Amino acid sequence: MGLTVRERLESIRARVAAAALRSGRDPSDVRLVAAVKRVPVERILEAVEAGVEMLGENYVQEARSLKEKIRAPVHWHMIGNLQSNKARQAVRIFDVIETVDREKIIHELQRCAQQEGKRLDVMMQVDLAEEETKSGADPEETRGLIEAVAGCENLRCVGLMTMPPFFDDPEGARPYFAELRRLRDRLQPLVPQGAVLRELSMGMSGDFEVAVEEGATLVRIGTALLGPRNA
Ligand SMILES: *Cc1c(COP(=O)(O)O)cnc(C)c1O
């Protein structure tokens, strides 16, 4: 206890860099998304002041009220389940939707983005755990979804995101991270021109070093940076 958000950020950045170097990667290829759900706004502001440039939110409502309080020019990532009836607000609020996992939401996002005169980056959330309760597309569906996005003028697919099942030992998540990278490598030559699957969003507080070793370009970190969330 007692560490400031700034000190935690420094420590996380050092761990990210060490993990990148261990696997022969350039540390600057890995960026941090602060996962801010249910965190008091003061702590989020501390993170932004300390240099965090990307904020990830799970809830559209919460993001909307946060955005009024956080005026700094940060990038807003949607990292929670997106319902179709929230698509318009999501388009207004977010720069990137990381959790696209079905055709219906692609068409809804395109329709709203066009009406709002906005371009939006999206990522495909892939469910590698084969658990029916998890959100995310099946790996075999991902190519079709990327093709659907390529047909949408206002949307651009920039990568893949995944959330493995929970493991006490972060090594348990490694095969899922490796699988997302392999899926990206398989899909990249097959997807329509213009879709560059540059981003792999994977890794959270408990397992981000493993994710970086396996190729993460975005790590979504909540508690390790911001401390405990409200219930
Ligand atoms: C909450 C959340 C995170 C961050 O979780 P921590 O374990 O607190 O780092 C990352 N990604 C998603 C999708 C989340 O919902």
Which domain CATH number covers 197?
A: 3.20.20.10
> Is 154 near ligand 1, meaning CB less than 6 Å away?
no
- Tell whether the model's pLDDT for residue 55 goes beyond 60: yes
Range 73-98 average pLDDT: 97
Residue 163 lies in a domain: yes
Enclosing domain of residue 195: 5-226
201 Cα to the center of ligand 1, angstroms: 11
Q: Which residues contact 150 (CB under 8 A, 6 or more apart)?
A: 157, 191, 192, 194, 195
Among positive and negative, which fits the CA dihedral 128, 183, 135, 172?
Answer: positive
Residue 139 lies in a domain: yes
> Is 221 near ligand 1, meaning CB less than 6 Å away?
yes
Per-residue pLDDT band for 5 (boundaries 50, 70, 90) equals: very high
> Is 77 near ligand 1, meaning CB less than 6 Å away?
no
- Tell whether the model's pLDDT for residue 44 goes beyond 90: yes
Please report the atom of ligand 1 found closest to the CA of residue 80: 13
Residue pointed to by tokens 């249910």:
38
Range 101-129 average pLDDT: 97
Compute how many other C-beta atoms are within 10 angstroms of the C-beta atom of residue 23: 11
Per-residue pLDDT band for 192 (boundaries 50, 70, 90) equals: confident
Per-residue pLDDT band for 132 (boundaries 50, 70, 90) equals: low
From atom 12 of ligand 1, which residue's Cα is the shortest distance away? 79
CA distance 1 to 170: 22
Please report the atom of ligand 1 found closest to the CA of residue 99: 13
From atom 4 of ligand 1, which residue's Cα is the shortest distance away? 222
Residue 148 lies in a domain: yes
Concatenating the DSSP letter of every residue in 122-167 gives EEEEE--S--TTS-SB-HHHHHHHHHHHHT-TTEEEEEEEE-PPP-
Residue 202 lies in a domain: yes
To test the ligand 1 pocket, which listed residue (31, 55, 204) has its Cβ within 8 A of the most ligand atoms?
204
Range 30-56 average pLDDT: 97
What is the domain count for the chain? 1
Helix/strand/coil for 199: strand
Please report the atom of ligand 1 found closest to the CA of residue 224: 9
Residue 140 lies in a domain: yes
Residue 123 lies in a domain: yes
- As to burial, measured by CB atoms within 10 angstroms (0-12 exposed, 13-18 middle, 19+ buried), residue 140 is exposed
179-207 exposure pattern, b = at least 16 Cβ within 10 A, e = fewer:
bbbebbeebeeebeeebebebbbbbbbbb
> Is 217 near ligand 1, meaning CB less than 6 Å away?
no
Residue 231 lies in a domain: no
> Among residues 164, 162, 211, 159, which one has the least CA distance to residue 185?
159
Residue 39 lies in a domain: yes
More confident residue, 219 or 71: 219
Predicted local distance difference test score (pLDDT) of residue 193: 80
pTM for the whole structure: 0.97
